[in-house]
Structure 1
């Protein structure tokens, strides 16, 4: 029998009840990993810890609880995120702080608290960023800022802890078929028209699947990418490579 790549490895994933996080959990489980998820709600599929990721004490408690049960952490995947529709003029300081707390500060805290154990296991971190950390959609000031910060945090962790044998990378998904993006579509004046045409902004002429992102995350966490750290991998069907032209 061929040994699976993550047999008995402890994989911690935030926000794994749906979307990219759920796809990652399923993919790692297929490869033999033990999955522990952290998010507000309870996972019905995997062991989970209910946590308000915007609170430092709860982030610390979550890592301690995992260590108490498993004794180690091999991979941390910071996936949980939130997005609000608001221009910078209309963004309240409360919404700004909440977005950064979940999208940027929580990955910082979880990485900080998990780091001693990742050093021991020579493990790695994979952060789920966004192409909006590179560009921006309208009315996404807080979201874009948080994802750009997460890309920067990725590089900083890689630089500081490469000497400890810990790697840190990020993926920057484009338009992926997730509940979060479906909620965004439903805010459009003509959501059906938007849904039919969203694929056309990509050279591949379609949107992405959560499983495709999960496959990239799994590779970045595996020994196959052992010399890769401090990188942000765009997975967007070529969207960011395409120069826009006016409609004919």
Structure 2
């Protein structure tokens, strides 16, 4: 059986990935901070065909090293191996550099970068043992610049370089490391960053013009890309930043 850890599994891209992996018959170790929402995702995975002992969860904040270590150890104790690590947990902190505090920067990087590094470090020996794969969830904000979300863009640029450097480090061990770089995806991330329902609706409407395909994306579409990178379908692919952005990254003013 294939064993996958998916972080940020209680909502958004992480949740969609967990459900797709469940459909594929993967054994799942899911992580999230919202215990109620995570429990619901576990139930949905079981409804999709997994047995109760084929999906487990760890609730906690991955900024705390003991939580990351517990997630890896719990997965090994439960399933005996780790084949796939999907780092999907992340937040968006809005605000200009002038108006944002250093605390905003710290929180953005602690969650989007540091927690990814810490968890990956604990998981690497087990992924090397299975010659598995790592998929990081970045953003088109990694390679592209957007005003008002500078720290977010910086954090995703860091994940992009982490992905490529780690891919080179782990390639001799037969481990592949890739990332997805989504455009605007319908999820709760912008609301959690402070947008009202009205502001979010206006943002989604504007985003039709900022994506070449004329619409925003869905978490399910990103999950399909993550599955591709995590599976043998991409067996000769490593260090790739896969844009799933409806063409947003190639748009230029004219």
TM-score over 0.5 for the alignment?
A: yes
Summarize the alignment of residues 96-115 of structure 1 with structure 2, pairs less than 5 Å apart. 96-115=105-124
Q: 2:130 aligns with which of 121, 134, 146?
A: 121
Q: Quote the offset at 1:91 in angstroms.
A: 2.4
CA contact (8 A) 2:92 2:193 kept: no
Counterpart in 1 of 2:27? 34
Counterpart in 2 of 1:10? 3
Q: 2:89 aligns with which of 80, 89, 110?
A: 80
CA contact (8 A) 2:140 2:183 kept: yes
| Matches of 2:118 and 2:140, distance apart in 1 | 23
Q: Quote the offset at 1:108 in angstroms.
A: 0.8
Aligned-residue Cα RMSD (Å) equals: 1.7
Q: 2:170 aligns with which of 161, 174, 187?
A: 161
Q: In the alignment, is residue 63 of structure 1 matched against residue 75 of structure 2? A: no
Note the alpha carbon deviations across 1:122-152, whole angstroms, 9 max, x for none: 1010000001111232221221111100000
Runs of 4+ in 1 over 6 A off after TM superposition: none
| Matches of 2:116 and 2:6, distance apart in 1 | 11
Counterpart in 2 of 1:3? none
Q: Which SS does the other structure have where 2:96 is aligned? A: coil
CA contact (8 A) 1:175 1:181 kept: no
CA contact (8 A) 2:93 2:193 kept: no
Note the alpha carbon deviations across 1:8-54, whole angstroms, 9 max, x for none: 21110111111111110011110110111112122122221012111
| Matches of 1:190 and 1:59, distance apart in 2 | 35
Q: Which ranges in structure 1 are unaligned for 5 or more consecutive residues?
A: 1-7
Q: Quote the offset at 1:182 in angstroms.
A: 4.7
CA contact (8 A) 1:20 1:214 kept: yes
Q: Quote the offset at 1:190 in angstroms.
A: 5.2
Q: 1:22 aligns with which of 15, 24, 36?
A: 15
Q: How many residues align?
A: 238
Counterpart in 1 of 2:103? 94
Q: Which ranges in structure 2 are unaligned for 5 or more consecutive residues?
A: 43-55
Summarize the alignment of residues 125-164 of structure 1 with structure 2, pairs less than 5 Å apart. 125-164=134-173
Note the alpha carbon deviations across 1:39-83, whole angstroms, 9 max, x for none: 212212222101211122221122112111111101000000011
Q: Which SS does the other structure have where 2:10 is aligned? A: coil
- When residues 9 and 31 of structure 1 are mapped into structure 2, their CA distance, relative to the original with a 3 A threshold, is same
